Amino acid sequence: MQDDKINPLSQKVDDLVSDHQQTDDHTGWFDVLYRNASGNPEQIPWARMQPHPCLKNWLETVEIINKKALVIGCGLGDDSEILAQKGAKVTAFDIAPSSIEWCKKRFPNSSVDYLVADLLKLAPSWKNSFDLIFESRTIQALPLKIRAEVIEAIATLLKPRGTLLIVTHLRETKDSPDGPPWPVSEEELSQLSNYGYEEIARTPYISPNLPSIQQALIEYQRNL
Ligand SMILES: C[S@@+](CC[C@H](N)C(=O)[O-])C[C@H]1O[C@@H](n2cnc3c(N)ncnc32)[C@H](O)[C@@H]1O
């Protein structure tokens, strides 16, 4: 799964995913995985225990002091923490209560507001309210059948003139990939233009673990 499809955790993740999919539950397996890891990040395939390198590089080029930032599907919290260290007022949420518990344990003195929440069931008051949104590998962790809903949920959270950063695996075909992860296509990303998003920059990324997979950090600005 994710950046480590080739490691021995893959089978465990695939089994968990297929168990949950039998009841059309696309997200329940995340909490089971975090809980069963019992604090060992080696049991979380996507855990890096450091911010994403593309986010680190991007942050060298911008000023985000006092920006209202949101991290979607924050996992173990490293990306949220670097945004807070750079001066943003950060809210970070994840659907898995065990991941949020883990973040709070790792960063007890953090200024980040860590919350358990479902991207698809956020309070309407969150809409159009963030200056900066960071989403890393959450879209691709959810199946294609709910992709349009997921992208819409993300798109409506940003203020006009705000910045959205997406880190994702990319796929070139319309065909449904064998996942998870389910890499994102250009056609799916183009849905963002319906909400006033314009692509500003795209930085390709090669993971040392998965050199053959196309990945990128994509920066968007919302124009309306
Ligand atoms: C592949 S992990 C990536 C975690 C982190 N963003 C990273 O890059 O290390 C996907 C994360 O999204 C969370 N997630 C999945 N569906 C979600 C939803 N509907 N709402 C909020 N979080 C969700 C999962 O619990 C998991 O922590």
Q: Are 95 and 118 in contact (CB under 8 A)?
A: yes
Give dist(CA 34, CA 91) in Å, integer.
Answer: 20
- The mean pLDDT value for 12-24 works out to 92
Distance set, CA 74 to CA 70, 77, 112, 115 (Å):
9, 5, 11, 10
Relative to beta strand 89-94, strand 113-116 is parallel
CATH number for 70: 3.40.50.150
Domain contains 127: yes
For the chain, percent helix, then strand, then coil, each to nearest 5?
A: 40, 30, 35
Domain contains 10: no
* pLDDT class of 176 with cuts at 50, 70, 90: confident
Q: Which pTM was predicted?
A: 0.96
Number of structural domains the chain divides into: 1
pLDDT tens, residue by residue, 36-58: 999 999 999 999 999 999 999 99
Domain contains 19: no
Ligand 1 centroid to Cα of residue 169, in Å, is 14
pLDDT tens, residue by residue, 65-101: 999 999 999 999 999 999 999 999 999 999 999 999 9
Ligand 1, CB within 6 Å, residue ranges:
2, 27, 30, 46, 73-75, 93-96, 99, 118-120, 136-138, 141-142
Domain contains 207: yes
Domain contains 86: yes
CB within 8 A of 45, min separation 6: which ones? 1, 2, 3, 4, 5, 7, 9, 10, 13
Angle of CA points 134, 140, 142, to nearest 5°: 105
Domain contains 20: no
Ligand 1 centroid to Cα of residue 17, in Å, is 14
Domain contains 154: yes
Q: For atom 12 of ligand 1, which residue has the closest CA?
A: 73
Domain contains 30: no
Ligand 1 centroid to Cα of residue 189, in Å, is 18
pLDDT in the model for residue 46 = 95
Q: Count Cβ atoms below 10 Å from residue 15 Cβ, excluding itself.
A: 11
Q: For atom 4 of ligand 1, which residue has the closest CA?
A: 75
Domain that holds residue 129: 46-222
